[in-house]
């Protein structure tokens, strides 16, 4: 019975885990235009997240030169209950004040670390193992209890037969 309940709960939740909302370092807004004061701890990659994949973004370093942005393609993974999608990846190579402009009247944008994206595959793998493992553990427990009950019943019947 426990196996059926656990399997039913997992089936209702589905095989895909919901990923957490990115930890935004900017306000989220339409036609995002911000100056980011980025320190040494932000060197590397930052993500631009949007509610849709449409819109264009430009990124300028403190020196005034255009910064490097990448697109990773339309990911099927959404983050948070509001379904944020990774739109662009900013490569931050120097600390200082960076300027970011994203334009689209139809969707909101925000900037956050890439942590939620980098851990998404691990989170999905663990959920998949849980999705398979819990019913398997329930099945093993059910079979074990069934075998133990069968052995106990046989032992009781043998004791009753020997007592006659």
The three-point CA angle 10-80-114 to 5° equals 115
Question: The sheet that has 44-50: what strands, in order across it?
Answer: 29-30, 108-113, 44-50, 85-92, 68-70
Name which residue leads in pLDDT, 123 or 2: 123
Mean predicted lDDT score pLDDT of the chain: 81
pLDDT over 70 percentage in the chain: 84
The whole-number pLDDT of residue 96 equals 92
Joined tokens for residue 69: 């942005």
Which sequence spans correspond to the domains of the chain?
A: 2-12+123-162, 18-114
| pLDDT given at position 148 | 94
Rounded CA gap, 113 and 13, in Å? 27
pLDDT at 150 over 90: yes
In this prediction, residues 117-132 reach a mean pLDDT of 78
Dihedral sign of CA atoms 131, 135, 140, 145 in order: positive
Q: What is the predicted pLDDT for the residue at 144?
A: 94
Q: Characterize 135-156 residue by residue with b for buried, 16 or more Cβ atoms within 10 angstroms of its Cβ, and e for exposed.
A: beebeeeeeeeeeeeeeeeeee
Q: Return the percent helix, strand and coil in the chain, to nearest 5.
A: 40, 30, 30
Could you tell me what percent of the chain has a pLDDT over 90? 12
pLDDT of the residue at 14: 63
């Amino acid at each position: 019975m426990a196996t059926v309940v656990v399997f039913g709960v997992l089936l209702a939740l589905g095989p895909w885990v919901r990923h957490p909302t990115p930890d935004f370092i900017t306000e989220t807004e339409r036609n995002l235009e911000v100056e980011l004061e980025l320190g040494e701890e932000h060197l590397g990659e930052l993500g631009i997240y949007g509610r849709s994949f449409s819109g264009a973004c430009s990124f300028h370093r403190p020196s005034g030169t255009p910064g490097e942005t990448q697109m990773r393609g339309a990911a099927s993974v959404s983050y948070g209950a509001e379904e944020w999608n990774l739109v662009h990846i900013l490569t931050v190579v120097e600390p200082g004040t960076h300027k970011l402009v994203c334009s689209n009247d139809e969707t909101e944008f925000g900037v956050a670390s890439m942590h939620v994206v980098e851990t998404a595959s691990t989170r999905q793998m663990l959920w998949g193992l849980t999705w398979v493992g819990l019913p398997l553990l329930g099945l093993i427990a059910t079979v074990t209890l069934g075998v133990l009950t069968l052995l106990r019943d046989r032992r009781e019947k043998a004791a009753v037969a020997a007592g006659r």
